[in-house]
Structure formats: C-alpha cells, structure tokens
Amino acid sequence: MFALNLPEYPAKIRLKDGKHQIFDANRRRYVALTPEEWVRQHFVQYLIQQKQYPSQLLANEASIELYGQQRRCDTLLYDLQGQPQVIIEYKAPTVAINQAVFEQIMAYNWVLRASYLFVSNGLQHYACKMDYTTQSSQFLNEIPSYTEL
C-alpha cells in the first residue's frame, strides 16, 4: 500500500476471496482495503494514539441525509452529548485535496453543524474550526488534540 504522512500501526490485513481486507476496529469487522480505507485506518489510529481521541466517540461511515439522499461521512467524532463535533473526509493519496473536497465536507456540515472539519489524503492534512456566530471558518496549523477541541 502507500507510504503515508502518518504514524504506522500494526494493521490487521487478510486475503479473502482474492481480495485484501483491513480490520476496522471501530466497525469491528474487516472491510475492503482500498487506498482511501488505508488512509482512514491510519488517520483514525493517529487520532486515537497520538491525539488522544476516545475511540468510542468515533464512527466510521456514519450515515446522514443530505438533500433527500443518504450519504456517508467518512468519520465523525461525537461529543459527550452525542452531537457531531468533527467531520473527517478522506481521499486516496493519489487524489489532490482541492476545492471540490472542501465543498463535499461543507455540504455534510450544512446538515451536521460540526465545530471542526478535517480533510486528509494521508499525505496532506487540513483542519478547520467553524465559527457559527460570525459565519466564518479558520484553518488550523495542525490537527488539534482531543483536549484542544
């Protein structure tokens, strides 16, 4: 798989029916090992191990309704009251993070109204803090630790 700008972790990978799968601890099952999934699993482990995010508050492939259609957020971090606090969007390392990626996560946030938005392709990571009082957003220099949220 791809070398990422994230710490390595001991991923559980298996071959089933000729296809590679990776274990997703949050979903408690093996899922197809795609380049985007490789990024997701590494980024989630980075949040848990390096940034002290509680794994029990993270949900991968969280369903939302957007414009009458079911969509899935790559990862959501919920606060202690069960409200979305961070939306995270992943792309494969070969996919450039551009305006369209930010428009996608902003569309999800139109429904969820999270305090933070993160975007990563495993090589580049972006964090944005939302301010609903001033209807603005501020890009952060790095992914904040859980206690900084």
All residues at 6 or more sequence positions from 36 whose CB lies less than 8 Å from its CB, including other chains: 74, 90, 91, 92
pTM: 0.95
What are the structural domains, with CATH classification, of the chain? 13-148 (3.90.1570.30)
Using the structure block, give the residue that is written with the tokens 């803090």. 129
Per-residue model confidence (pLDDT) at position 123:
98
Per-residue model confidence (pLDDT) at position 67:
82
- Pinpoint the alpha helices (H) of the chain: 35-49, 99-112
Residue 112 token pair: 């969820």
Residue 17 token pair: 């029916």
Question: DSSP string covering 102-133, please?
Answer: HHHHHHHHHHH--SEEEEE-SS-EEEEEEETT
Residue 100 token pair: 């369209």
Give the pLDDT means over successive 10-residue stretches in the chain (149 positions).
Answer: 93 97 97 98 98 98 88 96 97 96 94 97 98 95 97
Per-residue model confidence (pLDDT) at position 1:
77
CA distances from 5 to 71, 77, 108, 124, 130 (A): 28, 21, 25, 7, 25
